[in-house]
Amino acid sequence: MSTPIRASTILPGRREDIELHTADGLRLVGELARPLDREPVATLVCLHPLPTHGGMMDSHVFRKAAWRLPALADLAVLRFNTRGTSSLRGTSEGAFDNAVGERFDVAAAIEYAEFHELPDIWLVGWSFGTDLTLKYGCDPAVTGAILLSPPLRFSAPADLDHWAASGKPLTALVPEFDDYLRPDEARERFAAVPQAEVVGVPGAKHLWVGDAETVLDEVVRRVSPAAAVPLPTTWDGPVETGDVSAYADRTVASFADRPVPGPPAGQAG
Specify whether the backbone of 83 is left (phi greater than 0), alpha (psi in -120 to 50) or beta: beta
pLDDT of residue 76: 98
Burial letters for 241-269: b for 16+ Cβ neighbours within 10 Å, e otherwise?
A: ebebeebeebbbeebeeeeebebeeeeeb
| Stretch 7-24: mean pLDDT | 97
Name residue 169's amino acid. Answer: P
pLDDT of residue 237: 94
Distances (CA, A) of 205 to 36, 46, 159, 171, 242: 33, 19, 25, 17, 25
Q: Which domains does the chain carry? A: 11-223 (3.40.50.1820)
Contact 9, 3 (CB under 8 A): yes
Enumerate residues 6+ apart whose C-beta is below 8 A from 89.
17, 29, 30, 31, 57, 58, 81
Distance of CA 62 to the CA centre of its chain: 6
pLDDT of residue 204: 97
- For 85-94, 130-139, 247-256, which range has the lowest pLDDT when averaged over its residues? 247-256
Q: What's this model's pTM, rounded to 2 decimal places?
A: 0.94
pLDDT of residue 255: 53
Beta-bridge partner residues of 115: none
- Work out the number of other CB atoms within 10 angstroms of the CB of residue 48: 26
Q: What percent of the chain has pLDDT over 70?
A: 94
